Amino acid sequence: MPSTYSPDLRIELIANGEQSGTWGTTTNTNLGTVLEDAIAALASVSVTSANQALTAQNGAADQARCSAVSLTTTTTAAFNVYVPPVTKLYVITNPSGYTATVFCSTVIGNTTAAGTGVAIPTGKSVLLRADGTNIVEQLNHVVGAFSVGGAATVAGNLSVTGTSTFTGIPSAPTAAFSTNTTQVATTAFVQAALAAAYPVGSIYINATSATNPATLLGFGTWTAFGAGRVPVGFDSTNVLFDTAEETGGSANATLPSHTHTATVTDPGHVHTISTLDNLAGGSDGPNVRGSGSTAATTNSQVTGITVANSTEGSSGTNANYQPYITVYMWKRTV
């Protein structure tokens, strides 16, 4: 009875009574080559076409059985690699310089995709699992403490519960600045969000620091703005405020040209005043003596009314300010 082969690793299964005198050689191949490769071997694969299947042999060394695969290419473009449609774990490293996508083939050795694949960016290593139809990332969740040292890149979904510590320079996909989810915000996301909050034409105000916002925020070209002026809201109904960045007004008070007019209606009016010793008061009409007075002076008369104009207030430099507080203002121009 001839030998058969296991479906996943293609190990030779010796039938009862077969290979008398040679079964040891077959067993050594099974254990020392086939199983050892599946557990610990690295296959270096040079991809020479846009679609290439890994070699797969029954009972002999091959590429598809190895636990780790390193991909290089001469295609000068992205390429696809096909593994047998069986259940197996792979560590795939892609130093090729181009994106490599791994698929399960429909039949061992062909280059027809049985299901979904996983794209591996250049320079990255990924732990993948073939389920016989699809290729999936094996790790997408870490329970407990999670620590990353050095540069780390996460492509796709990574779920971590518990305490997580990252050292080095970890990286992650950058979402659009308007994203409002629990996705990790990268430094690029934060800067894009700030840049959106301060578009060209925006005003930045700081009460104590004269540092240019380009240094503080890390983006844009900013120029000092509004020196010695206070802002006022745009008002399309007022000709003074209906154009953006229109200026006007003065710090110096100016008294407008004007005329005061006095009208005397009774120029013949007469006041009679009697002055007394120890004068205590005065009155039109009859004499009024102060207490203890015994003699009065001669009456006197005043004819008409005299009107005198007077100037109030002031007009001068820096005399026309509203209550204010000084700050640093910058306008983004680029």
Alpha carbon of residue 210 to chain centroid: 23
Tokens of 60: 């002999």
For residue 249, how many C-alpha atoms fall within 13 Å in the half-sphere facing its CB?
A: 15
**Burial per residue of 242-253, b for 16 or more beta-carbon CB atoms within 10 angstroms, e otherwise:** eeeeeeeeeeee
Q: In this structure, which amino acid lies at residue 107?
A: V
One pLDDT digit (tens) per residue for the chain, 334 residues? 689 999 999 999 999 989 999 999 999 999 999 999 999 999 999 999 999 999 999 999 999 999 999 999 999 999 999 999 999 999 999 999 999 999 999 999 999 999 999 999 999 999 999 999 999 998 888 888 888 888 777 766 777 888 888 888 888 889 988 899 988 899 999 999 999 999 999 999 999 999 999 999 999 999 999 999 999 999 999 998 999 999 988 888 777 777 777 666 666 666 665 555 444 444 444 444 444 444 545 555 555 566 666 666 667 787 778 888 999 999 999 9
Q: pLDDT, tens digit, for every residue of 293-303? A: 445 455 555 55
Three-state DSSP at 242 gives coil
Instruction: Supply the pTM of this predicted model.
Output: 0.56
Q: Where are the alpha helices (DSSP H) in the chain?
A: 23-29, 36-40, 187-197, 213-217
For residue 38, give every residue at least 6 positions away whose Cβ sits within 8 Å of its Cβ, in sequence order, or none.
Answer: 9, 65, 66, 67, 88
